[in-house]
């Protein structure tokens, strides 16, 4: 089967996306337009020139540090800019076959150049993204991301409290991202205790992406993480694997991202299948699709072509995502039914 045909089939499957950064999902055309509008010092001659700066290119260094240079905060100068990119991102996700999206973003990132109010930024993203989700007949929730390098307990606590107050606007969780090497999890115990105390916000932590299994362990034991972003290094410690499986801590795994950041050298050897076989709840997610020049269907294609996953395997991972989504039980049941019906329809079409 040709890749384009396979991707079309995968696009038709209903997918739950738990790990997508808004900052890494902007349309290249929108970036070009906003860059020209604000006279940014970037290569803005055409899409090709800009892609060299804001997306992964074959032959470039495959390191986390280099990957992070692809992010820019210059695009946003108004709430209208922020509303635009949020709405477009949800529309694009729906076009990939995503039926439930948990979109994460850093309010601080969006305020860095614009100097806009953090609460206003959060409201703009939530309102625009929810409107786009309604138009596309999908559901969306929001996860607030904090960068380890910018820790400020007082400021973060205000944001956590605001996030909890915005639960009815769709804010469902808090994420910790950034430099694991120099800012280990124990530094953030106090703020994540506050997150857990809200009783309405879920916890997900980037851990074990390029560090150690110990970071995955402390994310669960110290920070109370219910989900782990990446978690690749969990395979280095059987005790951590057992912890994840026993607690049903879900891993949000991003194959294409992991290859481009150099966290895995060969997609064939990606740890997801091993963790899956060990009983860990693993999911397939896209991370930063614009930077990766991919979509979530590209990550699903990795599972099919590199690991031999079939429809049953993909459904198992999909149901892991349903169970891990930061949703009330009634919404979770609705989502599970939608996913199972979608896969059943695919079987009726002869897919295996």
User: Which residues are annotated as catalytic?
Assistant: 209
Token pair 């150690």 is found at 212
Q: Can you give the C-alpha Rg of the chain in angstroms?
A: 19
Q: Which residues pair with 283 in a beta bridge?
A: 252
Phi–psi pair at 201, nearest 5 degrees: -105, 130
- What is the DSSP code string of 199-230? SS-EEEEEESSSS-HHHHHHHHHTT--SEEEE
Helix (H) or strand (E) holding 252: strand 250-253
Token pair 């695009």 is found at 75
Q: Where are the beta strands (DSSP E) in 68-220?
A: 98-105, 139-147, 171-177, 202-207
Dihedral (CA of 290, 293, 296, 302) sign = negative
**Cα distance between residue 39 and residue 342, in whole Å:** 45
CB-based contacts of 146, cutoff 8 Å, min separation 6: 106, 108, 156, 159, 174, 175, 176, 177, 178, 191
Helix axes 238-247, 213-221, angle to 10 degrees: 30
CB-based contacts of 265, cutoff 8 Å, min separation 6: 259
Phi–psi pair at 319, nearest 5 degrees: -70, -30
């Amino acid at each position: 089967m040709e890749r384009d045909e396979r991707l079309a089939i995968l696009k038709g499957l209903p997918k739950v996306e738990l790990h997508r950064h808004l900052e890494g999902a902007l349309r290249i055309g929108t970036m070009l337009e906003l860059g020209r509008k604000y006279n940014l010092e970037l290569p803005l001659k055409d899409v090709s020139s800009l892609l060299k700066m804001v997306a992964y290119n074959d032959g470039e260094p495959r390191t986390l540090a280099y990957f992070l240079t692809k992010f820019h905060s210059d695009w946003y100068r108004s709430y209208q800019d922020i509303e635009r990119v949020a709405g477009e991102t949800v529309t694009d996700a729906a076009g990939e076959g995503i039926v439930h999206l948990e979109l994460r973003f850093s309010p601080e990132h969006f305020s860095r150049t614009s100097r806009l109010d953090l609460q206003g930024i959060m409201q703009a993203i939530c309102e625009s993204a929810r409107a786009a989700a309604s138009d596309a007949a999908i559901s969306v929730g929001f996860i607030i991301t904090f960068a380890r390098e910018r820790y400020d307990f007082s400021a973060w606590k205000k944001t956590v409290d605001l996030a909890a107050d915005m639960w009815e606007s769709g804010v469902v969780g808090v994420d910790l991202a950034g430099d694991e090497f120099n800012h280990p999890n124990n530094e953030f115990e106090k703020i994540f205790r506050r997150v857990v105390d809200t009783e309405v916000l879920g916890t997900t932590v980037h851990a074990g992406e390029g560090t150690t299994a110990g970071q995955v362990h402390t994310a669960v034991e110290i920070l109370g993480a219910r989900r782990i972003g990446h978690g690749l290094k969990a395979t280095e410690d059987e005790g951590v694997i057992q912890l994840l499986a026993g607690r049903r801590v879900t891993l949000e795994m991003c194959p294409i991202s992991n290859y481009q950041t150099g966290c895995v050298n060969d997609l064939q050897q990606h740890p997801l299948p091993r963790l899956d076989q060990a009983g860990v709840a693993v999911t397939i997610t896209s991370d930063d699709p614009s930077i990766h020049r991919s979509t979530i269907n590209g990550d699903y294609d990795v599972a099919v072509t590199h690991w031999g996953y079939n429809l049953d395997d993909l459904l198992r991972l999909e149901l892991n995502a349903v169970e891990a989504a930061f949703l009330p039980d009634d919404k979770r049941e609705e989502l599970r039914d939608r996913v199972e019906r979608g896969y059943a329809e695919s079987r009726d079409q002869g897919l295996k």
